[in-house]
């Protein structure tokens, strides 16, 4: 157990509203990731962080922003949610060896 929690676990929102998802880790890992998982697309990387205030884009970053002001928290924000952002969102960290990613339990987001 890498001590990763995600909140909320489920959320239903309306198109055009802002949404923030939180990933929290308890073990001081440097690298954190946000993915979305959709049928037929597998896992796609949205953004990642390699330290406090150090972030970079993944392959599907349009419409998303992130912030990491503390080591333990990595926030994913949808500034104006769209129906295409309905998905399951997973947070992950890389362990100290750099060889394994540990995943949180996921957040199911529905945008109506």
Partner 1 sequence: GNSVTQMEGPVTLSEEAFLTINCTYTATGYPSLFWYVQYPGEGLQLLLKATKADDKGSNKGFEATYRKETTSFHLEKGSVQVSDSAVYFCALKVSAGNNRKLIWGLGTSLAVNP
Q: Tokens representing 73?
A: 């928290």
- In this structure, is the dihedral angle defined by the CA atoms of residues 23, 52, 37 and 102, taken in order, positive or negative? negative
Nearest 10 degrees: Cα torsion 90, 95, 100, 101: 0
Binding residue (CB under 8 A) for partner 1 from 19, 46, 94, 109: 94
Binding residue (CB under 8 A) for partner 1 from 8, 16, 18, 105: 105
CB of 84 to partner 1, least distance (A): 19
- Decide: is 48 part of the binding site for partner 1 (CB under 8 A): yes
Q: Tokens representing 6?
A: 């995600």
Binding site for partner 1 (CB under 8 A): 31, 33, 40-45, 48, 50, 54, 56, 58, 90, 92, 94, 98-106
């Amino acid at each position: 157990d890498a001590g990763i929690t995600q909140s909320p676990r489920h959320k239903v929102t309306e198109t055009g509203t802002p949404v923030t998802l939180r990933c929290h880790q308890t073990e001081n890992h440097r690298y954190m990731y946000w993915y979305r998982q959709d049928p037929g697309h597998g896992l796609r990387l949205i953004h990642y962080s390699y330290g406090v205030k150090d972030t970079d884009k993944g392959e599907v970053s349009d419409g998303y922003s992130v912030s990491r002001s503390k080591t333990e928290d990595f926030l994913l924000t949808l500034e104006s949610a769209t129906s295409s952002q309905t998905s399951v969102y997973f947070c992950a960290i890389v362990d100290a060896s750099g060889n394994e990613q540990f995943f949180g339990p996921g957040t199911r987001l529905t945008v109506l």
